[in-house]
Amino acid sequence: MKRIIAPKGTKDIFLPEIEKWQYIEEKIRGYFPRFLYKEIRTPIFEYSELFQRGIGTETEVVQKEMYTFKDKANRDLTLRPENTASVVRAAIENDLFNRVYPLRFFYIGPMFRYDKPQKGRFRQFHQFGVEVFGDESAQVDAEVIYSSYDFLKEINIKDIQLHLNSVGCENCRPKFLRDLEAEAEKKKNDLCIDCQRKIHTNPLRIFDCKNLKCIEISNDFPKIIDYLCEECGSHFEDVKSTLSIFKVKFDINSRLVRGLDYYTKTAFEISSNQLGAQDALLGGGRYNNLVKELGGADISGMGFAAGIERIILQLDDAKSKKGKMIFIAYQSLPLMNKAIQLAKSLWDKGYRAYVDYNSKNLKKQLKKANKIGIDYTFILGEDEIVTKSISIKNMKDYEQITIKQEELDKWLKNNI
């Protein structure tokens, strides 16, 4: 029969990589509550309109990358391509703005984009991120950026760089966009077809184009940073000075406009050169109009989203806290029940232990322990039962010791 394989752009995750996933998920849940973030989980699919209105119809995401489908009742649905629009929708719908304080959420979960699969890039990919609502201060922008930066350091990602920009607001951006449009119009024939269309629909999105010619041309286009109004300018200065209190270094990147329409003022990305990769590990910024545009009150937002697959590529050493594995071997079949009793007492205390119920002799059991990658094998023989002791074999150097049963707890504490 023909084998069925996983759809293009998806993958199964299992040992040994799954340990990195568990490690990073544990770290996220342990780290972000420090800043009073609470977890939120939103549906994997939403009405398509949420993303069209939220992300912007001229973005690459909405134009080309959404998994949109009709359900049996002809509803227009989309697998979420990102989570910010969903979190905003959830906050409005459940009136969280009046029920939760401070309004700070973090999330972890799968997102879906019809993108070209490549290293670290999948059609079902996973993100974690945070959202802060109702705080317009530059200081909170710096705190959000700091937490994302510090988290990467916490999980031992090396050589990280923060790229910073301001994309202005509805007061200062129009003049910038007019000048940008005029400049782009002059170079129209050198731009790709997509960018030619964007000139009049959404010229900011020209900066997202990955076409090398377009990048070269747009490098000479006007820079938003030169157009910031007084408010955006002083906000940006405060973000930078607060980042220095957090001792976070950054560079200014005027091309950094993020791929989504909802950003205002602060925009940032963090990348790592550890593996020579150019891709951003995470990015985010301020979105002061999104809540209003999705039908809520005039409430500001600030957040980031991080690509878990990309971070895992850089994560060489997931230090799992699960502890070492113990194999409980019995010398002869009648002793198997003793092994089961011992295993139960270890499981009760939260240790990882394994009994092989199918091997008739000790040699075969030790072979299996090796195959599993066991750290210590406990051996129960007639002698051990009579003397109320346990023989313990270190499976790395094969050294063996015998301890009294009443010494076991102390041994476990020191060795596992």
Binding site for Zn ion (CB under 5 A): 168-169, 171-172, 192, 195, 209, 211, 214, 229, 232
Cα separation values, 266 from 138, 175, 294, 296, 308, Å:
8, 18, 20, 22, 23
Rank residues 170 and 316 by Cβ distance to Zn ion and give the closer one: 170
Residue position matching structure tokens 């697998």: 79
- Give least dist CB 159 to Zn ion, A: 30
Rank residues 25 and 293 by Cβ distance to Zn ion and give the closer one: 293
- Give least dist CB 288 to Zn ion, A: 10
Distance CA 197, CA 181 (A): 11
Rank residues 41 and 188 by Cβ distance to Zn ion and give the closer one: 188
Rank residues 229 and 403 by Cβ distance to Zn ion and give the closer one: 229
Rank residues 154 and 170 by Cβ distance to Zn ion and give the closer one: 170
Are 308 and 125 in contact by the 8 Å Cβ rule? The answer is yes
- Give least dist CB 232 to Zn ion, A: 3
- Give least dist CB 228 to Zn ion, A: 6
Tokens of 283: 């990015």
Distance CA 398, CA 375 (A): 10
Distance CA 155, CA 152 (A): 5
Rank residues 210 and 363 by Cβ distance to Zn ion and give the closer one: 210
- Give least dist CB 278 to Zn ion, A: 18
- Give least dist CB 179 to Zn ion, A: 15
77-80: long-range contacts, CB 8 A cutoff, minimum separation 24 = 77/45, 77/46, 77/47, 77/48, 78/45, 78/46, 78/47, 78/48, 78/50, 78/51, 79/44, 79/45, 79/111, 79/112, 80/42, 80/43, 80/44, 80/45, 80/46, 80/51, 80/111, 80/112
- Number of Cβ within 10 Å of residue 283's Cβ equals 22
- Give least dist CB 186 to Zn ion, A: 15
Q: Which of 35, 51, 36, 233 is nearest to 150 (CA)?
A: 35
Rank residues 65 and 356 by Cβ distance to Zn ion and give the closer one: 65
Distance CA 247, CA 146 (A): 9
Tokens of 212: 């090398």
